[in-house]
Amino acid sequence: MHLGVNIDHVATLRQARYAGGIDAHNAEPDVLAAAAICERAGASGITVHLRADRRHIQDADVFRLRERLTVKLNLEMGNTPEILEIALRVKPAEVCLVPENRKEISTEGGLDVAGQFAALRPTVEALRRGGVRVSMFIEPARGQIEASRKLGAEIVELHTGAFANAEGALQQKELARLQEAAVFAHSLGLQVNAGHGINYTNIALIREVPHIVELNIGHSIVARAIFTGLENAVREMFSLMNP
């Protein structure tokens, strides 16, 4: 499995002190430096979420990353005209469309592709015309997978939050949902990714989900990095993904 490291929370730490982002004097930690460390440690991609409220990643971060990365940039975004315009200028390798709620701490739940099909269609078409691969961050449900395929997405990223928050028999039930969804998505020719709440413990169960090409992991890696350093945190996660 490939590892995409989400570095949003590196920017969260920066913004806690330097609200001006990279333009603030002595702003740290540097998002670009964090991305370079993740690359060196084995990440095959860097993921950032440019939110409408700019609570962590800023516009300038996205442009700098696109210019300097040697691995792919995966841009998470809500379906808004403003962020779409930026995405079409940046032209990341991939865009993952996600739900966005200003009151949430982090993305909660998958995007309702089936229910928002008409609203999502022009965004997907614009991105694909721009040469950007499109991913849908969805619940592990057949209806959402089918809608994503019909819409023209090339990738589905299965939301693993319910699995990560569950324990015991309930977690096994959620694992089975992920396994079934991955098999179904793969049968439709979709690339299968997964992410949200994956950590150094539950990764052992995530390895039982077939056909996963890439995991996008952020909070757990950044949290571990406080104690071990970012490079070691990324290397440890990658080794647990691919023992």
Of 49, 94, 159, 174, the catalytic one is 49
Of 9, 56, 76, 94, the catalytic one is 76
User: DSSP character for 41?
Assistant: T
Residue 91 neighbours by CB under 8 Å, 6+ apart: 66, 130, 131, 132
Of 44, 42, 70, the residue nearest 239 (C-alpha): 42
Tokens at 184, concatenated = 């179904």
**Type of residue at 133:** R
Residue 89 neighbours by CB under 8 Å, 6+ apart: none
Residue 208 bears catalytic tag: no
Of 2, 56, 159, 196, the catalytic one is 196
Taking a C-beta distance cutoff of 8 angstroms, is the pair 11, 34 a contact? no
Q: What is the 3-state secondary structure (H, E, C) of 106-146?
A: CCCCCCCCCCCHHHHHHHHHHHHHCCCEEEEEECCCHHHHH
**Type of residue at 233:** A
Residue 49 bears catalytic tag: yes
The 10 Å Cβ neighbour count of residue 215 is: 24
| Residues carrying an active site annotation | 49, 76, 196
